[in-house]
Amino acid sequence: MNNRNKRDEQRLKAFARKELDKAQQQEILSFSADTSLLKKNDKLKSDLILRDQILDKKEKPSEKLIDRIDNNQIFVEELEAEITGLITEVFALTDRALIAISALRKVNSRLADQLENSLSLKQQPKKSRTITKKLM
């Protein structure tokens, strides 16, 4: 029976670590996409400010500027959708990891606690800082 418990412990430990690794990889992808979103959003914001300055002078903004604003807006919206999907996957993978840790806790609570403590994903809803079409 002791040998079987060791096998179960090893199997559960491997599964929990695998799920934790998957969740952390998704979190890294989400962070990377969020960084890209912020950079592209800053470019969009500066283009919108430039367009507004041109309009304040009662001049017409160039087609190139208008196209760049439109393209950046489309890119920002697509990236936001991708980030939302990545965050959803992070939550699902984290839930799977917590289920695996819970099963491991029945066999080895100390190890389960260690794995749970390593789950350091911060999953707070982020306030959107992106420019929306309302400002355009």
DSSP one-letter string for the chain? -HHHHHHHHHHHHHHHHHHHHHHHHHHHHHHHHHHHHHHHHHHHHHHHHHHHHHHHTT-PPPHHHHHHHHHHHHHHHHHHHHHHHHHHHHHHHHHHHHHHHHHHHHH-HHHHHHHHHH-----PPPPP----GGG-
Give pTM, 2 decimals.
0.72
pLDDT number for residue 126: 53
Provide, rounded to the nearest whole percent, the portion of the chain with pLDDT above 90: 37
Q: Higher confidence at residue 103 or residue 135?
A: 103
Segment 101-116 shows an average pLDDT of 87
- One-letter amino acid at 128 equals S
- How far apart CA 110 and CA 118 sit, in angstroms, is 13
pLDDT in tens, 13-70: 898 889 888 888 888 888 899 999 999 999 999 999 999 999 999 899 999 999 999 9
Report whether pLDDT(132) > 80.
no
